Amino acid sequence: MAKSNIIARTGNEAMAEAMRQIDPDVVAAYPITPATEIVQIFAGYVADGVVKTEFVPVESEHSAMSACIGASAAGGRAMTGTSSQGLALMAEMLYIAAGLRLPIVLADVNRALSSPINIHCDHSDTMMLKDSGWIQIFSENAQEGYDNMIQAVRIAEKAKLPVMVTTDGFIISHGMERIEILSDEDVKKFIGEYKPEHYLLKVEEPITIGALDLPDYYFEHRRQTAQAMIDSKSVIVNVGKDFTAKTGRSYELFEKYKLDDAEFAIVAMGSTAGTTKVVVDSLRAKGMKAGLLKPRVFRPFPKEEIAEALKNLKAIAVMDRSDSMNGHEGPVCLEVKAALYDKGLNKPVVDYIYGLGGREIRVQDIEDVYKEISGLSRTKAVSEVKYLGVRE
């Protein structure tokens, strides 16, 4: 290979690079920190004529998703990128995109939700939309963001569901990393051509999309969407396998890091998983059997597989980078606990709510979490939420 496929990119640059290679038919987007660069860089590709994309610089995120819905229903590949308040403003349309079963791909740069207004990382925005019918894929670093974006196109089109790929605001989006990219040709080959069966621009075969369902049909249509989400799990697994075969980089529903013989584990998503791996290594060197489970796919939630992976642990800490404001646990912890319950596993699980609004999570914080849960007995279930790194 004449040209090196190893490059230095920030998370946002990596997402934009993936979008350039995907070369969607339509991109409609509105800038928002910390996702702005994705749109800006992509607009540059459009201005230089290196993509065939029609770029729609809309006047709001609500309109961004509306235009993506229009383009996708019309028969093309449509993509956008956003964050935080932008995702919140899109919320209505995100549900509609999923209900219409449109394979739109969205890059979401995780950022806290107002109020108070804050531009830094947490997972509140993505978690707000966890029940919207979108497949949700988290990334640990820029490499995973890039790889997930490329896989998302195939996942969406096969599952007939929209996909959001998330990176952590600033931590990934603005951090420069070494990433390995595919050639344009390989990306083109991997995603293939999009050939929808029915679409608006096929005017000789008029169809109505977005009809009104009364109580005699609504439930069946929602049930079909729910089934599509259930079925998407195997789609994600298969696309991941194919991607691994092409790149050597492993993509499964979640990553197990030194988990199989672990006694104490943390469940963490996004960039924190990377920090946790460092802690696992250092604790292992000191003799603790520490491990990590990093969910990659949060929707659909792979509950059987996760429960199976956690079954031999003495205690588990779940790291929640958002708060459900429900009087008990955060969203990731609730999912993990439900998965364990269904397998009859009554284990100590402690929820740590951390990192809200970009509050730093340090190696020492994670070490402290392992130390705390290592003091819990195997048989004693706990229902406890801890706020990590907050002044109280």
Summarize as ranges the residues that interact with other proteins (CB under 8 A). Answer: 25-26, 28, 52-54, 56-60, 62-64, 66-76, 78, 92-93, 96, 100, 200-203, 206-214, 217
Least distance from C-beta 217 to other proteins, angstroms?
Answer: 5
Q: CA-CA distance, 235 to 152, in Å (whole number)?
A: 10
Contact 12, 34 (CB under 8 A): yes
Least distance from C-beta 55 to other proteins, angstroms?
Answer: 8
Q: CA-CA distance, 109 to 87, in Å (whole number)?
A: 10
Least distance from C-beta 60 to other proteins, angstroms?
Answer: 7
Q: CA-CA distance, 148 to 141, in Å (whole number)?
A: 11
Least distance from C-beta 17 to other proteins, angstroms?
Answer: 20
Cβ proximity to other proteins, 54 vs 242, nearer residue? 54
Sign of CA dihedral 174, 18, 78, 151: negative
Q: What are the beta bridge partners of residue 352?
A: 319, 386
Least distance from C-beta 36 to other proteins, angstroms?
Answer: 18
User: Do strands 163-168 and 176-180 pair parallel, antiparallel, or not at all (unpaired)?
Assistant: unpaired
Q: CA-CA distance, 392 to 386, in Å (whole number)?
A: 12
Give the HSE-up count for residue 167: Cα atoms under 13 Å, Cβ half-sphere.
Answer: 32
Least distance from C-beta 307 to other proteins, angstroms?
Answer: 38
The 3 state secondary structure assigned to 26-69 is EEECCCCCCCHHHHHHHHHHHHCCCCCCEEECCCCHHHHHHHHH
Least distance from C-beta 39 to other proteins, angstroms?
Answer: 15
3-state secondary structure of 200: coil
3-state secondary structure of 282: helix
Cβ proximity to other proteins, 62 vs 303, nearer residue? 62
Cβ proximity to other proteins, 69 vs 228, nearer residue? 69
Cβ proximity to other proteins, 202 vs 223, nearer residue? 202
User: Do strands 135-138 and 163-168 pair parallel, antiparallel, or not at all (unpaired)?
Assistant: parallel
Least distance from C-beta 225 to other proteins, angstroms?
Answer: 14
Cβ proximity to other proteins, 189 vs 202, nearer residue? 202
Cβ proximity to other proteins, 53 vs 167, nearer residue? 53
Cβ proximity to other proteins, 213 vs 360, nearer residue? 213
Measuring CA to CA, how many Å separate 197 from each of 188, 192, 210, 365?
20, 15, 16, 51
Cβ proximity to other proteins, 91 vs 385, nearer residue? 91
Q: Could you tell me which of 261, 22, 318, 284 has the C-alpha nearest to residue 155?
A: 22
